[in-house]
Structure 1
Amino acid sequence: MSDLKEPLNYAPRKSVDAETKASGGLYDRSIGAIIAETRNLTADQVERVLQYQRERGIRFGEAAIALGYANAEDVLEALSKQFHYPYAPTERKSRSPELVALNQPFSSQAEVFRGIRSQIMMRLYREGEPRRALAVISPDTLDGKSYFSANLAVTLAQLGGRTLLVDADLRRPRQHEIFDVKNQSGLSSILSGRSEPRVIQQVEGMNSLFVLPVGAIPPNPGELLERPAFGMLMRELAGKFDHVIVDTSAGLYGADSAIVAARCGAALVLARQNQSRVTALQELTASLDDVSTTLVGTVMNQY
């Protein structure tokens, strides 16, 4: 397994106190120890893995796979646990297949999202400036905007900071489907003045990632977004979370995305390779000229 870079020597677990670290009380165990515990390996099986490992000069995980005591999924899960890196279990992957940054955190796709994350953080979070939410906008439907917003939010949450993904696409919302969360209430409830419990939901398996779905699709999306309540909400959320990513309606639906971008204070434009028209992109970016919004960049999606 080329992803495994550090020694995987298995050391028998001695005591909780011996393994507990001061920061967060998390166990700093070897991957071998995690695999042995996850797969309920006996002492004899562990010894066979260790012997196979020594004879061939390979890692514990590779040896366990070769002997049939573990599989590649077990090794990746152990690696994520060792580094306290959120990783979706097998049953979650089937429910949220679009979350490649969570389902396949060591893939080339996830690495691309991490690179984009770094660029955004350098441009958006500058010392001395107030925190702003980031609106992800695109000219057309099927540009991959919801997919992009979801995975960007995952990579930001993987840094450990509290991250909120807001679905502000009041016309064709998808984030509740992508994350498999309830959608009985959400942003539309807040903007229409209804008091609903638990409109912000924590993502299963990720302590630092939260989703605010749309809830009921309103008949007047543009008017709801124009209300002062939306701008006030964005400012409040930006102050309470380390990162706020906002999914929006496609530009072809009118001014929705520009309104959201203005209330967020920052926007990122998403274009689809071989699909997005230059004129549509120019019109979308021109809609931001008269509002106090920072355009942090443009991403070309190959999807």
Structure 2
Amino acid sequence: MNSFQTSYPSSFGAPEDRKDPAFRDTEQGSAPDRSIGEIISQANKLSPEQIEQILNYQRENGVRFGEAAVQLGLANSDDVLWALAQQFHYPYASEGRGELNSELVVGARPFSEQAETFRTIRSHLIMKMYSGEGPRHALAVLSPNSGDGKTYFAANIAVAFSQLPGRTLLIDADMRTPRMHELFNLERGDVGLSSILSGRVASKVIQSVRELPSLFVLPVGVTPPNPLELLERPAFGLLIRELRTKFDRIIVDTPAASVGTDGAVTAAKCGAALVLARRNRTAVPSLESLVRTVGMGATQIVGTILNEY
């Protein structure tokens, strides 16, 4: 997904953190400030002799520690960016250093052009949804067809939000072809959204993402035979209402409209929707049909995304 075009009718400050012992939580500690040199040295397991070599080069050439380490071949530019991110407490798991899936570009390559595009969209959503005194809706991500990039988008925009203060929850409501557990390397297990909505379990189903301490994921769990019926139950609306008191932002992935009305039903319970289409693939009539279906309820369509990949 190379770039996005956004279209918004036009307003998110992060409310104070909320904590609940029912969820498996990991807090991002406020570690004492460390120098870039100390972070690079520890991460790359540099010997005292190598550190002294870097310091000598630094003094002789008037450069920073990171630049000297790169020039001497004892670190690379990605190491320096990672160290800088650690110094500023910026959640970031660079490729080869963490276990984030490469599709999670905002977390794995946060300084790339793609990641910057997601941050721009995040800013637009903040201005649209979270500025002002109105209720904070959950945001359902919809698209007409499978393969539009909806799950990729939902996962990365959730990662982008998790890099702000507050807690972000990503819900996998695609109970037909769920993928979030794969993207975030989570245990599929028997518990998840489907087990909550079927009344089989109601606690400890939300999992934290180790590399991104402010991001939490509610996976599908067991794929049910009746996903639409589960979403139409009052339990889903009650669940969203409860989760909105626990998390600062909620992003919800949905199935493509071509396989059913799950997405529209989910959006109605969330209160807000963002519609994604794919250039040269999404047919205008199918996009119009999706927008009309969503518009039948009180859902606020906060914007549209054009996937140009």
Give 1:35's aligned residue. Answer: 40
Root mean square deviation, CA, Å: 1.8
Q: Identify if the C-alpha distance between structure 1 residues 291 and 196 changes in structure 2 by more than 3 Å, giving closer, same or farther.
A: closer
Instruction: Identify the residue that residue 237 of structure 1 maps to in structure 2.
Output: 243
Q: Any idea what the Cα deviations from partners look like across 1:209-265, whole Å, max 9, x if unmatched?
A: 000001111111111110000011111111210000000010111211110000000
SS at match of 1:239: coil
User: Aligned pair 1:154/2:159, yes or no?
Assistant: yes
Distance 1:83 1:124, change over 3 A: same
1:141–1:113 distance in 2 versus 1, CA, 3 Å: same
Residue 32 of structure 1: how far off its partner (Å)? 1.5
Q: Is the 8 A contact 2:100 2:107 kept in 1?
A: no
- Going by fraction, where is helix more abundant, 1 or 2? 1
Shift of 1:71: 2.4
Q: Which runs of 4+ in 1 moved over 4 A?
A: 89-95
Q: Distance in 2 between the 1:25 and 1:281 partners? A: 45
Counterpart of 1:131 in structure 2 is 136
Q: Aligned runs of 1:191-202 on 2, under 5 Å?
A: 191-195=197-201, 197-202=203-208
Q: Which amino acid aligns with 1:202?
A: S
Q: Displacement, 1:44?
A: 4.1
For residue 298 of structure 1, the aligned residue among 296, 304, 307 is 304
Name the SS for the 1:208 alignment partner: strand
- For residue 182 of structure 2, the aligned residue among 174, 177, 182 is 177
Query: Could you tell me which amino acid in structure 2 is paired with residue 227 of structure 1?
Result: R
Q: Mark the CA change 1:243 to 1:278 in structure 2 (over 3 Å): closer, same or farther.
A: same
Question: Based on CA coordinates, which of the two structures has the bigger radius of gyration?
Answer: 1
- The answer as to whether partners of 1:262 and 1:291 remain within 8 angstroms in 2 is yes
Report the CA distance between 1:43 and its aligned residue.
4.2
Higher mean alpha-carbon deviation, 42-51 vs 259-268, is at 42-51
- Return the alpha-carbon distance in structure 1 between the equivalents of residues 111 and 100 of structure 2: 19
Match of 1:81 in 2: 86
Which residue in the other structure is 1:13 paired with? none
User: Secondary structure at the residue paired with 1:194?
Assistant: coil
Structure 2 partner of 1:49: 54
CA distance in 1, matches of 2:242, 2:203: 17
Find the residue that maps to 2:31 and give its secondary structure: coil
CA displacement at 1:95 relative to structure 2 = 5.5
Aligned residues of 1:80 and 1:86 also touching (Cα < 8 A): yes
User: Does the aligned pair in 2 maintain the 1:200–1:211 contact within 8 Å?
Assistant: yes
Unpaired segments ≥5 residues, structure 2: 1-27
8 Å contact 2:100–2:211 — kept in the other structure? no
The amino acid across from 2:83 in the alignment is: A
Q: What TM-score results when the alignment is normalised by the length of structure 2?
A: 0.86
Map of 2:267 onto structure 1: 261
- CA shift at 1:73, angstroms? 3.2
Q: Which runs of 5+ in 1 are unaligned?
A: 1-22
Instruction: Determine what percentage of the aligned residue pairs are the same residue.
Output: 57
Residue 197 of structure 1: how far off its partner (Å): 4.9
Amino acid of the structure 2 residue aligned with 1:161: G
Residues 92 and 107, structure 2, Cα contact 8 Å, conserved in 1: yes
CA distance, structure 1, for counterparts of residue 30 and residue 224 of structure 2: 45
CA distance in 1, matches of 2:130, 2:30: 30
Q: Give the letter aligned to residue 110 of structure 2.
A: P
Q: Spell out, residue by residue over 1:89-115, the C-alpha distance to the aligned partner (whole angstroms, 9 max, x if none).
A: 545756612110010011111111000
Q: TM-score, normalised by structure 1?
A: 0.88
Change (3 A) 1:94 1:183: same
Count matched residues: 281
